[in-house]
A and B are shown apart, each in its own frame.
Chain A
């Protein structure tokens, strides 16, 4: 796995965009692995009762998918020094055999010196931005 080198980066350079499908089974699996069993992430009856349109993905599941764009690009996931998101809109995951799709694109937002760069991301699902200002700071060779 050889990733990009710092000296090759320019502000505005795009990372390969990705789409990540999310189905109910993915949420059940994530619930088990993460220990977050909040029923809004798997129980449609409960989700509707608390005012949601349907079951929604764990915010942390969405966040995990988003930063795959960065770790796959960087080569070494250990290159990530910092990452953050603000949860804006839920990713609604209907039980229709199709589910939802999380679309992620990213570009170099700033070169920070000391081989560090900030990656700015855009994350949408069903036409809505689901996260505000997702970013990562990476250190490259």
Chain B
């Protein structure tokens, strides 16, 4: 069943603030195998002009994706969680996320489309400090695969975006 298009433009309440810590950045950098000293050594980060260690570019997903699941789990929208796959991901940074940041995400439904039996939902998660400074916006396409087409999600994404 197609998703309710009236959800487009809807904004969800801010996620509880996430405190970005040096050790969490270190753990994440180790997990992606990235030895860049800007992620672990405050002096190296300062030499690059950052006030403290910064986080790798994909780190904000830790904050944005759980916030996006507010939408996935919204019973009023009726998305079947078990059929949702990650279609695409984009980040726009006002500045790097860094240790000491306290960030909460506000998620907005940017678009809803139905394509070849799959539901495509574009979300934007704006990550802000308590002072209201926008640090990063994470754009996520979630695809809820149609019941009759187990493997079509990537094809559906390409078709929806007009590209093969």
Bound state CA distance, A86 and B61, in angstroms? 15
Bound state CA distance, A60 and B58, in angstroms? 7
In the complex with contacts A83-B57, A83-B91, A84-B91, A68-B28 CB distance below 8 A: no
In the complex with contacts A83-B57, A88-B154, A35-B62 CB distance below 8 A: yes
Residues B62 and A76 in contact, CB atoms below 8 Å apart: no
Residues B157 and A86 in contact, CB atoms below 8 Å apart: yes
Bound state CA distance, A87 and B158, in angstroms? 10
- Total A residues in contact with B, Cβ cutoff 8 Å: 38
- Total B residues in contact with A, Cβ cutoff 8 Å: 43
Residues A65 and B33 in contact, CB atoms below 8 Å apart: yes
Residues B151 and A51 in contact, CB atoms below 8 Å apart: yes
In the complex with contacts A20-B33, A30-B31, A59-B86, A77-B58 CB distance below 8 A: no
Bound state CA distance, A103 and B83, in angstroms? 29
Residues A33 and B93 in contact, CB atoms below 8 Å apart: no
B16 at the A interface (CB under 8 A): no
Contact of A32 among B31, B34, B89, B96 (CB under 8 A): B31
Residues A67 and B158 in contact, CB atoms below 8 Å apart: no
- Give the dominant DSSP class at B's interface: mixed
Q: Which residues of B contact A20 (CB under 8 A)?
A: 33
Contact of B95 among A1, A34, A78, A88 (CB under 8 A): A78
The residues in A between 18 and 51 inclusive whose CB is less than 8 angstroms from any CB of B are 20, 26, 29-30, 32-36, 51
Residues A80 and B57 in contact, CB atoms below 8 Å apart: yes
Q: Which residues of B contact A85 (CB under 8 A)?
A: 88-90
Residues A77 and B57 in contact, CB atoms below 8 Å apart: yes
Residues B92 and A35 in contact, CB atoms below 8 Å apart: no
Residues B88 and A72 in contact, CB atoms below 8 Å apart: no
Which single residue of chain A is at the shortest CB-CB distance from B137? A82
Contact of A68 among B32, B65, B91 (CB under 8 A): B32
Bound state CA distance, A47 and B34, in angstroms? 27
Bound state CA distance, A35 and B85, in angstroms? 16
CB distance from A88 to the nearest CB of B (A): 5
Which single residue of chain B is at the shortest CB-CB distance from A58? B86
The residues in A between 75 and 125 inclusive whose CB is less than 8 angstroms from any CB of B are 75-78, 80-89
Residues A60 and B158 in contact, CB atoms below 8 Å apart: no
Q: Which residues of A contact B33 (CB under 8 A)?
A: 20, 26, 65
Q: Which residues of B contact A33 (CB under 8 A)?
A: 27-28, 30-32
Q: Which residues of A contact B151 (CB under 8 A)?
A: 51
The residues in B between 117 and 151 inclusive whose CB is less than 8 angstroms from any CB of A are 139, 141, 150-151
Residues B57 and A67 in contact, CB atoms below 8 Å apart: yes
Q: Which residues of B contact A71 (CB under 8 A)?
A: 34, 36, 56-57
CB distance from A129 to the nearest CB of B (A): 11
Residues B91 and A82 in contact, CB atoms below 8 Å apart: yes
Residues B93 and A34 in contact, CB atoms below 8 Å apart: no
Q: What string of 1s and 0s marks CB contacts (under 8 Å) between B30-58 and chain A?
A: 11111011110000100011100010111
